[in-house]
Homo-oligomer: A and B are copies of this chain.
Amino acid sequence: MSETDRRTAILLIHCPDRRGIVAAISRFLSEHGGNIVDLDQHVDTEQGVFFLRAEWELRGFALPADGIAEAFRRELAEPFDMTWRLHFSDERPRMAIFASRLAHCLYDLLARWQTGELAVDIPLIISNHDELRPVAKRFGIDFYHLPVTPETKAKVERQQNDLLADYRIDFAVLARYMQILSADFIQAWPERIINIHHSFLPAFAGARPYHAAHERGVKIIGATSHYVTEDLDAGPIIEQDVTRVTHRDSVADLVRKGRDLEQLVLARAVWLHVQRKTLVYRNRTVVFD
């Protein structure tokens, strides 16, 4: 089967819950001859909201790819008051990486990109330090060193925005980027900036979480990947994971053990985002996994 033949369409929706939504959507797909590859739905009964992710093959589907959106809007989205996105499996999002001095998350993302696990293009790395330039060079990616000071921050963010535009970036990953982005910057990229925080949020938000965890004497540490919002470390959580520690572990041990968590959790979150498996509603994610 050729690549074209395997192309799928992916629909992500949420709408007020009511009877008959699944029936209507599945009828829409089956009447046009869609072979459903994956169908996952969820009802938040407390909030009365219906969520759905559907993926179906374009081969044999009666509607042309560029006609689906219009038909869906008319037949389903408007009658059911849906918020929705339509994607195609052969889109290849363009991803930028922001980093500082720590290389582990950067290396991990680049390796997953090289092995084909992450179906993205990575044309751009931005850093407020110059240390990771050799890593970018090693993988043939453009690297921009944009140091940030309180005075230059606004100007640097404009440069960053220009770069994201120039490189036609779809979403950005903060791979242990140790700068806080401004509200303006964040608002321009809603649900399109993914961060990794080195704690089990909401515990130990803010700076130096491993020191704080050590001080508190916790027996488990974690890492959290989330979409960035204006509230620091408080955006919708995509993925978390943890590992055990003991009184024997110094802060340096927590840092070492935490690195594995950070790169793993960030990689999973980016993968879920790229696979169009995440949906945000009122600061929480629905992860169709």
- Given A19-B33, A45-B250, check contact A220 B241 (CB 8 Å): yes
Residues of B within 8 A of A135 (CB): 114
Q: Let me know if A247 and B286 touch, CB within 8 A.
A: yes
CB-contact partner of A220 in B33, B51, B222, under 8 A:
B222
* Segment among A5-13, A35-43, A85-93 that sits at the interface with chain B: A35-43
Distance (whole angstroms) from the CB of A81 to the closest CB of chain B: 17
Q: Is the interface of A mostly helix, strand, loop or mixed?
A: mixed
- Which residues 216-271 of A have a CB within 8 angstroms of B? 216-220, 222, 236-242, 244, 246-248, 250-251, 256, 259-260, 264, 267
* Segment among A20-28, A120-128, A149-157, A189-197 that sits at the interface with chain B: A20-28
Residues of B within 8 A of A202 (CB): 203-204, 216, 218
- Closest chain B residue, CB of each to CB of A34: B19
Q: Which residues of A contact B (CB under 8 A)?
A: 19-20, 22-23, 26-27, 29-31, 33-39, 41-46, 51, 102-104, 107-108, 111-112, 114-115, 117, 135, 138-139, 200-204, 216-220, 222, 236-242, 244, 246-248, 250-251, 256, 259-260, 264, 267, 283-287, 289
